[in-house]
Structure 1
Amino acid sequence: MSLIRRNLDVLDDNFFDNFMRDLNLFRRGNIRTGWAPSLDVLETEDEFIVDAELPGLNKDDINIDIHDNILTISGETKKEQRFQDENVFFRERHFGSFNRGIALPPNLNTDDVTATFENGLLEMKFPKTELSGRKIKIQ
């Protein structure tokens, strides 16, 4: 068996982030096909904030689920009827079902989440809690 030297300089800066994102989607069975909303994830001293761009949707078209510390945002955008029979020359908007999941940190209170939706931006705020744990004495 021979060792192969790898040139790690060829990996881009987002390699690990992309790997973790894809791994989270794969574990949940949500291999991304089509489109998914863009997310901003922010952390303050007191809370964890997730913003999702969902233009053209109503709040009733969006599903938010938290299971096993995985936040899943899903829904569907529909094509406008006026474009069904026309010759479309250029289309950049996305239509169809979407499903986006991200792993949440363990120190969040997922029972007190607030979610607002305004002008196509879904904002979820998760209050932080103290990490719980206990010290185990070795006998």
Structure 2
Amino acid sequence: MNLQKLNPWNWFKHEEGTPAADSQIPIQRSSVDNPPTAGSASHPMMQLHREIDRLFDEAFRGFGLRSLPSIPDWSGMADDATFRPRLNVSSDEKSYEVSLEAPGMTRSDLSLDIKGDVLTIRGEKREEQEDREKHYYRVERRYGMFQRVLSLPDDADIDAIAANMKDGVLKIRIPRREVAEGTVKSVEIGD
């Protein structure tokens, strides 16, 4: 049995802020068992922030004043200050699949490039024109340009990669191919 096949591939070794290329990246899923992080809505600091906002709003209404405009949503700022769509990477015996959340985007907003063993997904989510006469209490949508860089495994068939977009999700199918085991070359040790 080839134990190397059980070792997960580090797809994110070319993205900034990721662990070193030789480290393992465990599968992460959100669950109620995970403790709240500094940017999550259930973190005590975020709860305190919301409560202080509520108290100030009540105080201003007591004087007959309008409530203060709310500051931007801080819950996501601890994770990312820019627009960065989330993605999933999965596989079976025949192929890998990368699915990227791209709501409100079209195929013309995205581009896929492959250079060597690196797949780069670029895109831009443009801000919608909103009525400037309205007073917004909260704006949670994020806009801007993004780039996701994925390192392709050795068994990825780069020439057969296909992508499609449906219902705001970009799906990239990367077929797997057999990788010939490398031949062993002996090196003679000199004096």
Give TM-score scaled by structure 2 length: 0.54
Structure 1: distance between partners of 2:175 and 2:81: 32
Structure 2: distance between partners of 1:102 and 1:74: 11
Equivalent of 2:157 in 73, 97, 109: 109
32-41 or 71-80: bigger deviation: 32-41
| Contact 2:11 2:151 (C-alpha < 8 Å) held by counterparts | no
Structure 1: distance between partners of 2:174 and 2:167: 21
User: How far is 1:117 from its partner?
Assistant: 0.2
- Write the deviation string for residues 88-131 of structure 1: whole angstroms up to 9, x where unpaired: 21111110111111211111101111111001000011110111
Find the counterpart in structure 2 of residue 65 from structure 1. Answer: 113
1:1-139 matches, within 5 Å, as 21=12, 23-26=13-16, 34-84=82-132, 86-138=134-186
Structure 2 segments unaligned to the other structure (5+ residues): 1-9, 18-79
Q: Which has the higher contact order (CA 8 A, sep 6+)?
A: 1
How big is the alpha-carbon RMSD for the aligned residues of Structure 1 and Structure 2?
Answer: 2.4
Structure 1: distance between partners of 2:133 and 2:113: 36
After superposing on structure 2, the runs of 4+ consecutive aligned residues of structure 1 that deviate more than 4 Å are none
Find the counterpart in structure 2 of residue 3 from structure 1. Answer: none
- Write the deviation string for residues 19-70 of structure 1: whole angstroms up to 9, x where unpaired: 984x52239xxxx761211111001000010000000001111011111212
Q: What amino acid maps onto 2:139 in structure 1?
A: R
Give TM-score scaled by structure 1 length: 0.73
Structure 1 segments unaligned to the other structure (5+ residues): 1-18
Q: What amino acid maps onto 1:26 in structure 2?
A: E
Going from structure 1 to structure 2, the CA distance change for 1:43 and 1:86 (only over 3 Å counts) comes to same
Q: What amino acid maps onto 1:42 in structure 2?
A: S
Higher CA-based Rg: 2
Going from structure 1 to structure 2, the CA distance change for 1:33 and 1:65 (only over 3 Å counts) comes to farther
Aligned pair count? Answer: 116
